[in-house]
Amino acid sequence: MGKKVTVKDMLQKFDLEVICGWDQLDREIVVADLYRPGLELAGFFTFHPVERLQLLGKTELSFIQGLSQEEREERLEKLCHPDIPCFIVTRNFDVPPELVNAAEAKGVPILRTPLATTKFGSKLTNYLEKVLAPSTTIHGVLVDVYGIGVLIMGASGIGKSETALELVKRGHRLVADDAVEIFQTEEGSLVGQAPDLIRYLLEIRGLGIINVMTLFGAGAVRDKKRISLVVRLEAWQEQRQYDRLGLDEERIRIIDTELTQLTVPVQPGRNLAVIIEVAAMNFRVKRMGYNAAQQFVQKLGETIEEGDDLD
């Protein structure tokens, strides 16, 4: 899974003011969703999502001001569930003393920001979605080929890094070699990057470790890239029937996302860099609605039918 994020991490990221709960800043935030507790302030607590960060803006605070003293104390005491990571008051509004008392009693921190509720909520959601995104690390090489993020996989020593080096020499961009950190930033979308320690580095057997950015320039690398296609390299097996038309689309699941996978057999004389370039271009034209294999099969069927008619 993605890395852990605490209230303290968020506090430092957005330079928030702590109203109360200094000793509770190590509380973990587990979901990226935010919540504005309007219904709860009106007395409806049946579906209160206490695992979310609770945002209090002008609407909520105005409603609180309109409650009687007794209602205010009762609602805010009930609102302060001990499982809530924290409350965040926006626009530097004054925090109701009844909320401070209830939060201190339940051990829930209250923070404050000068930003407007909608603007702050948007920034906070984007931040949390990134740091809480499901993630995994895969052994492989990630290259940006014609704008398509191609993840090259295969057994150790099969030639993944050498192929990536050839692709870089042909004008494409390296994202990661050996280990690729993959994050599912949203449903159906995977983004890959290199661990900090090996960013921009390629390991070539017999040559050692080279820095691609130093040798080929900043245009030969990029920090992250959305993964669209997986190319699996494997040693050529004489007995195996390889797909010669490209009609059967192989799929691979990474985290919760399915990607198109091509299995490319490796043998002397095959230029893998050119094959991957063409695979990326073919993937692009397929997304645009043209499938050469289907066109070929359709024309073949028409030719056979014409031959039958002549008989």
Q: Would you list which residues are annotated within the binding site for ATP? A: 154-161
Known catalytic residue: 178? yes
Q: Would you list which residues are annotated within the binding site for Mg(2+)? A: 161, 203
Q: Would you list which residues are annotated within the binding site? A: 154-161, 203
Report the helix count and the strand count for the chain, using DSSP H and E.
10, 18
Known catalytic residue: 177? no
Distance between CA atoms of residues 25 and 22, nearest Å: 6
- The catalytically annotated residue of 8, 81, 91, 178 is 178
Angle (CA) 134 137 138, round 5°: 125
- 13 by Cβ neighbours in 10 Å (0-12 / 13-18 / 19+) ranks as middle
Known catalytic residue: 139? yes
Known catalytic residue: 287? no
Distance between CA atoms of residues 7 and 87, nearest Å: 10
| 148-154 and 141-145 beta bridge pairing | antiparallel
- The catalytically annotated residue of 119, 139, 205, 287 is 139
- The catalytically annotated residue of 52, 72, 160, 172 is 160
Q: Tell me the HSE value of 21 on the side-chain side, using a 13 A CA sphere.
A: 32
Which of 113, 128, 114, 105 has its CA nearest to residue 9?
A: 128
- The catalytically annotated residue of 244, 248, 251, 308 is 244
The residues assigned a catalytic role are 139, 160, 178, 244
